Structure 1
Amino acid sequence: MSYHSDPYDPKQVAYLSPESLAEAVDAARKAFAAAPDLDALNQIKHQHLGDKAPVSLARREIGALPPAAKSDAGKRVNAARQEVSAEYEARAEVLAAEAAQRVLREETVDVTLPVVRRRRGARHPINLMTDRIADLFVGMGYQVGEGPEVEPEWFNFDALNIAPDHPARTMMDTFYLAAAGRSDSGLVLRTHTSSVQIHTMLTQEPPIYAVSPGRVYRTDEVDATHSPVFHQTEGLVVDRGITMAHLKGTLEHFARTMFGPEVRIRLRPSYFPFTEPSAELDVWFAAHKDGPRWIEWGGCGMVNPRVLTACGIDPHVYSGFAFGMGVDRAVMLRHGVTDMRDMFDGDVRFPLALGTEE
């Protein structure tokens, strides 16, 4: 080992000779050039640029030289190390480019090849129908409203002019929620999305053009045409000069968009506490599988002045109409579904069978 106090001995500093440094550079060049890929190049890097590489050992021997020789030796070592580093960087750049080209060549996908791809599932027809209805009314200038599925009785009944002794408020039709230790919490699972209309009228000033799709609950037994959980879309318009003519025109456009341009509608007089006058909406299906017939689709009418008053809207200035349709019913009519239970069994083949994959 060399020490600063040792006299100069060429044998002790063999790595510092110009010949040795040239050989080190040449060996590194050949080794780097022989590396077939980046992994191999990185594995041999330490042999030529590491702590025990010839150029690194040569730098350590500079201390054994007399002061007059150190400067010249240091320049030679630095030049040799820079040359080795340059050789490494150049080879690494070439190998990286080759690797990139190889990836592009080996992983190329021919997008023109024919492919058969059939998804095992699809969006549920009820979601698709809900979005379709919302898009229709948004295109007509309506806004889409949402509200909670658990409502105080006031929103679900009182504000809609449904009296305390109305049959709809009994346990036969409504799910009541019991608070801890109480059975009279005053909360219900909403039986219609009309409660969203109340929220809308309380928070917005007329003119109001809104549609409110959502899930609702009633104590129905499960069968081919009934379910305790189903979906509705309700519409509300409150503005100056609104009449039944506006309601009929809106519903006619709605029905023809959903079921085809040949569809006709009719309004049959009916009764709802929250509309006056009220009507049942029927749709004429000329191409029904069981023959041409009228099929009931929903209810509608002019907003009862008492409902407007409950929401702080002057019925002498504004009038409005409201309507409500079952989304599940619309899917059944549009696609010929005969059993509502098919829509909730979770069979991924059901949407595909209806052709509702979009």
Structure 2
Amino acid sequence: MSESPSTPAAPVIDEATIGDAVDAALAAIAAAATTAELKQVRIAHVGDASVLSSANRAIKDLPKDQKAAAGKLVGQGKGRVQKQLAARQSELTAAEEEAALAAETVDVTLPTDLRPRGASHPLTVLQDRINDFFVGIGWEIEEGPEIESSWLNFDALNADPEHPSRSLQDTLYVAPEGSGMLLRTQTSPVQIRAMLERGAPLYVACPGTVYRADEIDATHSPMFHQVEGLAIDKDLTMANLVGTLDAFAAHIFGGTPITRLRPNHFPFTEPSAEMDFRCFRCEARHGLDHDADPSCRVCGGTGWIEMGGCGMVHPNVLRAAGVDPEEYQGFAFGLGIERILMLRNGVADMRDIVEGDVRFSQHYGTEI
């Protein structure tokens, strides 16, 4: 037959047992060095499983004539322990607060930044540098609205009614439908506005934000920045255009750049060209007699970097802006500021530029 489970022995309630329990509790309280240690002491010596608490619960089972004496003995012992716990708690709490204050002391007489340091976005810094160049050669900086009419954005720039750039796949139109209003796809409308308002001669650079119906990825964004230049005067030629862009490249990239023109077609200009300059990262930078590095990520192994579109202003554009093409000629060009930043500073992903993380800007400091 199985034996019945044994019943736990009732705690002994006498002066020796209670005295030993109290002495052990007082010694543990005195040895506690932190409030966390004191909490464990409290659980061990006055918690539900402690000798004193067990003895207190056992009083009810004593004979009636022993209950008073036992209650007094246990109550006095537990009272001494609780009193010492409270005193030690106050001591340790005060000591820990004093230590925390000492560790966190701040010398209010020392100079300090009341606000975290930020940084200008590198696109802003680069645009300022570009503006400085054009102001330095005597040009003016011109700005215009970002919501434009189709006439200023396309028609005045000699774009055919069926030109692909007018489609919804490329251009973001503004409601209501058929209003002829759109988010400008280039800063060229600012040039038209300047000619209409001020006539010729005219030398303006037009930096600003432009919009295209693109998905954002490593090399594209639906919103980006351009700077376009326009010079209208008597006797201007392609040589003036090349000289201006050569000087611009030297200002932005340093050194003495080697440039070339490739024939192209733009409605705004005739003749039109793409301007490239010799890669400044690989062996191609040493001159035309040096081969490009096939693994160069900047020029793609070609030795040339595309700078932007340019050319002589089309006579139709001059007429649309009220300028006589028989008397004045001019040149124009357009450059992507993000592209310049990515080439100049090795930014591999367009998304790093537009995501707004201040650490990206702080990396460049106050000068890029």
Pick aligned residue for 2:220 from 209, 216, 226: 226
Give 1:215's aligned residue. Answer: 209
Deviations 1:81-123 (A, max 9, x none): xxxxxxxxxxxxxxxxxxxxxxxxx99879xxxx999964200
Give the match for residue 158 of structure 1: 155
Tell me how far apart the structure 2 counterparts of residues 241 and 197 of structure 1 sit (CA, whole Å): 19
Whether contact under 8 Å (2:149, 2:182) holds in the other structure is yes
Q: CA deviation at 1:149?
A: 0.4
**Stretches of structure 2 lacking an aligned partner (at least 5 in a row):** 1-106, 283-295
Q: Distance in 2 between matches of 1:334 and 1:356?
A: 16
Where does residue 52 of structure 1 map in the other structure? none
* Residue aligning to 1:100: none
Amino acid at match of 1:270: N
* Pair 277,203 (structure 1): closer, same or farther in 2 beyond 3 Å: same
Distance 2:281 2:124 in 1: 25
1:352, CA displacement in angstroms?
A: 2.3
2:354 aligned to which of 337, 340, 344: 344
Q: Cα gap change, 1:266/1:178 in structure 2, threshold over 3 Å: closer, same or farther? A: same
Residues 45-87 of structure 1: CA deviation (Å, up to 9, x unaligned): xxxxxxxxxxxxxxxxxxxxxxxxxxxxxxxxxxxxxxxxxxx
Cα distance, 1:266 vs structure 2: 1.4
Aligned positions of 1:147-226 closer than 5 A: 147-179=144-176, 183-226=177-220
Amino acid at match of 2:142: G
- Which residue of the other structure, out of 314, 320, 323, is the alignment partner of 2:324? 314
Query: 1:260: how far off?
Result: 1.0
Contact 1:335 1:354 in 2 (8 A): no
**Structure 1: runs of 5+ lacking an equivalent:** 1-105
The offset of 1:284, in angstroms, is 1.4
Cα deviations by residue, 1:260-291 (Å, 9 ceiling, x for unpaired): 11432211110000100001111212324547
Percent of aligned positions that are identical: 55
TM-score relative to the length of structure 2: 0.63
Q: 1:348 is matched by which residue type in structure 2?
A: V
1:146 is aligned, of 125, 143, 152, to 143
How many Å separate the matches in 1 of 2:241 and 2:256?
19
Q: How far, CA to CA, are the matches of 1:186 and 1:291 in structure 2? A: 39
Q: Output the aligned Cα RMSD.
A: 2.3
| Deviation (angstroms), 1:355 | 4.1
Mapped contact 1:162–1:273 kept (Cα < 8 A)? yes
Report the counterpart of residue 329 of structure 1 in structure 2: 339
TM-score, length basis structure 1: 0.65
